[in-house]
Structure 1
């Protein structure tokens, strides 16, 4: 293994631990974002109608469930298990989709979560724990 590959794997391994932390944090925040949407529809304001319009309560439940799943996969990712890595990629991709559809309600937050999910996908897909 070349030194460049070793450095890349070291960065990916460190970033994967960071990805696990990011997933847990994003899961917690998505959970509370969902609770806010379910509990009080006046928290979020939508200025325009758009194609993917769902009731805020529905979006709230989507974020609650997604938050719990993302948090669980983030915790499992700390083990470095293969299934946890694959699950992290799938869950991050679903989170990207959900936050894209959530853009009209909370655009800056959605863009931030999408960017963090892209980092998670890169880190987890690049990291090969057996090579460290």
Structure 2
């Protein structure tokens, strides 16, 4: 594109917009929250009351699971905000895994898990829409 003497706007910086922007920001918020949840489980805090059910793991195991997923969510979220080619598909995968682990964690901390599952499903939806620009062009 030829230089017409106009200065480049901050909005033309090459960063993502729309659904991908929402997903990237959501993942960079959700990731650290999952990391905090993981640290809570690893330190064996008395916040969680583990019931007897089919997906019962040691709280330290749950802590490590949430910690790893939280780090992955944050890294992929930053990748989405920087418009990296791999990040959108990876975001769908990581947010999907997060939904599954939060579902399995519902008996331990139900309100938190349901809120995070909803957040993760919105991330998957937004990233799925952002993969197909033609689908969102009609807005």
**Any gaps of 5 or more consecutive residues in structure 2?**
1-16
TM-score, normalised to structure 1, is 0.83
Aligned partners of 2:133 and 2:44: how far apart in 1?
47
The structure in which a higher percent of residues are helix is: 1
- Residue by residue, what CA displacement relative to the aligned partner does 1:54-90 show, whole Å, maximum 9, x if unpaired? 0000000111111111110000011233310000000
Q: Shift in Å at residue 128 of structure 1?
A: 4.4
Map 1:1-132 onto structure 2 (within 5 A). 13-46=17-50, 48-128=51-131
Structure 1: give runs of 5+ residues left out of the alignment: 1-12
Considering only aligned residues, what root-mean-square deviation do their CA atoms show, in Å?
Answer: 1.6
The ranges of structure 1 where at least 4 consecutive aligned residues each deviate by more than 4 angstroms after the TM superposition are: 128-132
- Higher-Rg structure is 2
Matched length: 119
* TM-score where L is the length of structure 2: 0.79
The 2-side partners of 1:72 and 1:41 are apart by: 26
